[in-house]
Chains A and B, each alone.
Chain A
Amino acid sequence: MKYENYMNLEFPSKSANEAFARAAVASFAAQLDPNLDELGDIKTAVSEAVTNCIVHAYPDEIGTIVLKARILPGNVLDIVIKDKGCGIEDIAKAREPMFSTGGEERSGMGFTIMESFMHEVKVNSQRGKGTTVHMRRRIVRRGDKS
């Protein structure tokens, strides 16, 4: 699809990069003139997807995370977050609220939050190969904002 702007990032799966990733996407999204609520939603969804790569995709190693963000016609922010980690066995199950293979540090609400904070969330995954999360959010134009 035709883009109006894009940025690509690659970083290791270190937890310090969670804050970096959501701040980077928030800065990039600023050109769409989002309000505080929209910015909060985007940061939260990115934080969830990146944390999943760090916690679940690469549980015992440091792997690579690729984050791509694009601005598409119609004021749409398009985000792809990709890992080459362990993959998800059952995607439908993983997306259910409260489902988690993590310990008591996880809540199982990551995908539920991504789904309710973004307009579209697609998940592709192959066991042993990795996972791609593709999310979209249309930013309301200033004049239309309440």
Chain B
Amino acid sequence: MTSFLQDKQLTIALTGEIDHHSAKKTMQQIGEKIDLYLPNLCILDFKAVNFMDSSGIAIVINTLRRMREIGGQIKLSNVPPQPLKVLKTAGVERITSIEPREVMI
């Protein structure tokens, strides 16, 4: 997981396979970054995520809750098709903005 901060916007790049096995650590790391930088916007970048199950939904919801506590917002960017389907099935696009990964031709 890598992250960078610019103009109070915190971008966190998630990588690999997001499941229950990896979720706890990821959740903790995101929480630490938010507490440290207190951003206005937290962007979760899914570009390098090659698998996600419902454990990822819990990560998004917890991140959203944390950001709301400090008056901020979240955005999901570069979301590949498989995680996108999981997020949509859970109705996550109703509570946050989701940008799909651009289709490669």
| Sample of 9 further A-B pairs with CB below 8 A, known A44-B86, A106-B58, A107-B90 | A16-B21, A51-B54, A51-B55, A105-B58, A106-B54, A113-B54, A113-B86, A116-B89, A117-B85
For chain B, what secondary structure do more than half of its interface residues adopt (helix, strand, loop), or is it mixed? helix
Minimum CB–CB distance for B76 against chain A, Å: 15
B20–A113 touching, CB < 8 Å: no
A48–B24 touching, CB < 8 Å: no
Interface 1/0 per residue, A25-51 and B, CB below 8 Å: 000000000001100110110011001
For chain A, what secondary structure do more than half of its interface residues adopt (helix, strand, loop), or is it mixed? helix
Check A113/B19 contact, CB under 8 A, given A40-B81, A107-B90: no
B residues contacting A by CB (< 8 A) are 17, 19-21, 23-24, 27, 51, 53-55, 57-58, 61-62, 81-82, 85-86, 89-90
Interface 1/0 per residue, A105-145 and B, CB below 8 Å: 11101101100110000000000000000000000000000
